[in-house]
Chains A and B, each alone.
Chain A
Amino acid sequence: MTLARSGPRRRWAYQLDVKGSPYFYIAPFFLLFGAVGMFPLLYTAYVSLTNWNLLEPTRHWVGLANYAELLTDDYFWNALFNTVSIWLLSTVPQLLAALFIAHMLNRSLRARTFFRMGVLLPNVTSIVAVTIIFAQLFGRDFGMVNWALDLVGLDPVDWQAGTLSSHIAISLIVIWRWTGYNALIYLAAMQTIPEHLYEAATLDGAGQFTQFRKITIPMLRPTIIFTAVVSTIGGFQIIAEPLLFQAGTGNPTGGSDRQFQTVGLYLYEQGFSLYKFGYASAIAWTLCLIIVVMALVNYSITRRIRRS
């Protein structure tokens, strides 16, 4: 109980310490987070309802006009299409590959840590470095990918120029960077699956693949949902890869025909090349809405998979 060794004064100080000090400990987080996290978020909503442009002195309330403009903006729809395309091309193979890699890592292996570190290395390198390296590898004239295609008798591809080819290349960057990370998450979940399930299945004569399909996948469902949702949230915000993919430009249009401009990149172009803050904020809120909807859709789809 309370320690009132030296009278009421001490007791009062003790009460203050116990009742008040927790707020002191959480205050730095909430104050800083409120100022640089929450406030900007809410303020974006206000900015999106104005025609705030850094290059023009006048600022007006324009209501939903920015959103209305967005709906008829071909560049926005193009960017949305590119985002969805790159997201699908990267997320689906990435998560499938991660499942199989995790499955392999889950056996008793020599040099376990070495393999785990090897598959995780791409994830600790920066997006900028990775994208620059891949842009070089996918180069039209001196890229190693085209050299390899030539080796097997295929025509070289101008990766940056085409819509599908650039989407594939950018997706590969994402896949390369995130597969190992997801594999480790799956591995952690796989290690909680009771071994006797597999033993029983083996006794019943189920093969490796059947066990993987009938035991591993269903048991991993919550983890698969988690990774799918996280990949969706990340995939829809993709900016750096398309921004840096075209070596030598750093162009916010995402290619000469905007063939790989994503919504995030369009936001960047409107906000920080053209300084149309109002319009860019409308893009930000629309993007956020799309992400929420996609994450929910994703959640319900993945939940259905392998419901046993």
Chain B
Amino acid sequence: MTTIITEAPRQARVPRSRAARPRGGRRSAGFWTYAALVAVLLGSLFPVYWSLIVASHDNDAIARVPPVLTPGGHLFENIARVFDTTAFGKAMLNSFIVSGSVTVSVVLFSTLAGFAFAKLRFRGRTSLLVVAIATTTVPHQLGIIPLYILMAELGWTGRLEAVIVPGLVTAFGVFFMTQYLSSAVPDELLEAGRIDGCSTLRLFWHVVVPAARPAAAVLGLFTFMQAWNDFFWPLVVLTPENPTVQVALSSLASGYTTDYALVLTGTVLATVPVVAVFAALGRQIIGGIMSGAIKG
């Protein structure tokens, strides 16, 4: 077989499932462990819960002593005010467009490149992979000024292209898929496909894509959440008239007002999509983090 490289399969970096339960001898948790964990949990949840409290009251409630800790009845009224005061609807739509296109593109191109790096033999493969991995460590901010100049030259400042295009590929995605595919796709399957006369592209489509699905889901999830939460670059390159959610939120908070009910309603709205994704697919997300080097 000329095209198939035989490489010792790497340990699969797949999300841990129920199968990875602590083994029998694992010490079981006593009262104090639960007490401490519940305390940690309350600390984790409280700020998010608090924003929901403030968002569901009118502004006077915030100054009350002792603080109110139960939800009030003003949530929908506050939501309406957020949409009236700022371009929040547009911001939400923009964020969905940006996060959606970035996610599709990162997953597609990472799977393609990961397939080539993991399973195909070509000149310069190792060195190109090293270059790709090395670039994951470079600080983002370093290139922000030339990137801005570039976007200005292209006439993209203030437009969504300026946020989407730099996000279309990530070195991390390539690294992640390469690692996953090198063990998830058996070489024998690719060889069999070759013998049947499959072109490389058909192999990709019929063998690699189905095998890559679990990893692609995790990568897609992370990419979406990161793109949704991204703040600094959109702040630099977009305008308050055409913002993403995070930018709209920051300008809402930077007004010369202390309308906390309004501002924290905004934070609730901006947080809902990721928390919803997290609630639905938290197990996979945790598996992805625990399986290795997902960088936040």
Q: Mark B113-147, 1 if CB is under 8 A from A, else 0.
A: 10111001110010010001001011111111111
In whole Å, how far is A273's beta carbon from the nearest beta carbon of chain B? 11
With A26-B116, A108-B28 already in contact, the answer to whether A132 and B253 are too (CB < 8 A) is yes
Number of interface residues of A (CB under 8 A): 101
Of A27-35, A60-68, A71-79, A159-167, the one touching chain B: A27-35
With A18-B200, A44-B145, A113-B286 already in contact, the answer to whether A121 and B65 are too (CB < 8 A) is no
List residues 246-277 of chain B with CB under 8 A from any CB of chain A.
246, 249-251, 253-258, 260, 263-264, 266-267, 270-271, 274-275, 277
- Is B29 an interface residue when CB atoms closer than 8 A count as contact? yes
* B141 with A267: CB separation less than 8 A: yes
- Is A22 an interface residue when CB atoms closer than 8 A count as contact? yes
* A37 with B200: CB separation less than 8 A: no
* B253 with A125: CB separation less than 8 A: no
In whole Å, how far is B263's beta carbon from the nearest beta carbon of chain A? 6
In whole Å, how far is B74's beta carbon from the nearest beta carbon of chain A? 17
* A124 with B278: CB separation less than 8 A: yes
* B50 with A144: CB separation less than 8 A: yes
- Is A1 an interface residue when CB atoms closer than 8 A count as contact? yes
Cβ of A30: which chain B residues have Cβ within 8 Å of it?
128, 132
In whole Å, how far is A172's beta carbon from the nearest beta carbon of chain B? 10
Q: Mark B26-61, 1 if CB is under 8 A from A, else 0.
A: 111100011011001101110110110010000000
Alpha-carbon distance A220/B219, docked complex (angstroms): 26
* A37 with B1: CB separation less than 8 A: no
- Is B211 an interface residue when CB atoms closer than 8 A count as contact? no
Alpha-carbon distance A196/B168, docked complex (angstroms): 47
* A115 with B139: CB separation less than 8 A: no
In whole Å, how far is A204's beta carbon from the nearest beta carbon of chain B? 16
* A128 with B2: CB separation less than 8 A: no
Cβ of B285: which chain A residues have Cβ within 8 Å of it?
120, 124
Count of CB-CB pairs between chains A and B under 8 Å: 308
* A187 with B27: CB separation less than 8 A: no
Cβ of A118: which chain B residues have Cβ within 8 Å of it?
40-41, 44-45
Alpha-carbon distance A237/B143, docked complex (angstroms): 13
- Is A55 an interface residue when CB atoms closer than 8 A count as contact? no
- Is A302 an interface residue when CB atoms closer than 8 A count as contact? no
In whole Å, how far is B163's beta carbon from the nearest beta carbon of chain A? 11
Summarize A's interface: helix, strand, loop or mixed. helix
Q: Which residue of A lies closest to B282 (CB)?
A: A117
- Is A88 an interface residue when CB atoms closer than 8 A count as contact? no
Alpha-carbon distance A3/B36, docked complex (angstroms): 65
In whole Å, how far is B220's beta carbon from the nearest beta carbon of chain A? 14
Cβ of A267: which chain B residues have Cβ within 8 Å of it?
141, 144
* B147 with A126: CB separation less than 8 A: no
Q: Which 7 A-B pairs have the closest CB atoms?
A: A250-B254, A40-B143, A43-B146, A188-B290, A40-B146, A126-B229, A22-B122
Question: Which residues in B have some Cβ–Cβ distance to A below 8 Å?
Answer: 1-3, 16, 20-23, 25-29, 33-34, 36-37, 40-41, 43-45, 47-48, 50-51, 54, 62-63, 65-67, 109-110, 112-113, 115-117, 120-122, 125, 128, 132, 135, 137-150, 165-166, 168-169, 171, 174, 194-195, 197, 199-201, 204, 225, 228-229, 231-232, 236, 246, 249-251, 253-258, 260, 263-264, 266-267, 270-271, 274-275, 277-279, 282-283, 285-286, 289-293, 295-296
- Jot down 12 A-B pairs with beta carbons below 8 A, ordered by A: A21-B200, A26-B113, A26-B116, A33-B135, A44-B143, A113-B283, A123-B296, A125-B271, A126-B249, A127-B246, A132-B249, A136-B263
Given contacts A29-B110, A287-B141, 7 further A-B contacts (CB under 8 A): A19-B122, A44-B143, A109-B29, A188-B291, A247-B253, A271-B145, A281-B145
